[in-house]
Amino acid sequence: GENVEQHPSTLSVQEGDSAVIKCTYSDSASNYFPWYKQELGKRPQLIIDIRSNVGEKKDQRIAVTLNKTAKHFSLHITETQPEDSAVYFCAASSRYGGATNKLIFGTGTLLAVQP
C-alpha cells in the first residue's frame, strides 16, 4: 500500500548548521510532495512543497529536492535558528479517481537547534 518513510526521527544541530531530513515514498503515481512544520500543541503548517515536474525548489533558507526515479525527496534547512526547532513532516499525495491530494505523511522528525 501507500507508504512514506522519514529519517531521521530526531535531529540535533548547532545554531547556524544545516539540517537535512529525508523521505522515501512507495506510490510511483505520487506527484506532489509538501513539507509541514508542527510546533508543540499547534497545527501542522506548510513550509514548502514540490511537484513532480520540478527537481528542486528553494525558499530563503529552506530547499527541497526530489528524485522521482529513486522515489526520494529531502528537506534542507541552512543557517538553522532556534525557532526552527519543531517536528517536521514530509508527505506525498496519492490520487483517488479524479480527485487529488490525499496526503500520506511520514512519521516526523524532531529537529532541535541548540543555541
Rounded CA gap, 41 and 61, in Å?
A: 24
For another protein, which is the closer residue by CB, 99 or 115? 99
* Site residues, another protein (CB under 8 A): 4, 6, 31-32, 34, 36, 42-46, 49, 51, 89, 91, 93, 96-97, 99-108
Contact 81, 88 (CB under 8 A): no
Report in angstroms the alpha-carbon separations of 95 from 27, 65, 101, 107.
10, 21, 7, 20
CB of 65 to another protein, least distance (A): 18
Beta carbon nearer to another protein, 24 or 108: 108
Kindly state the smallest distance separating residue 115's Cβ from another protein, in Å. Answer: 25
Phi, psi of 84 (to 5 degrees): -80, -10
Q: How far is the CB of 16 from another protein (least distance, A)?
A: 28
Q: What minimum distance in Å lies between the beta carbon of 45 and another protein?
A: 7
Helix, strand or coil, per DSSP, at residue 83: helix
Contact 30, 52 (CB under 8 A): yes
Of the two residues 14 and 28, which places its CB atom closer to another protein in the complex? Answer: 28
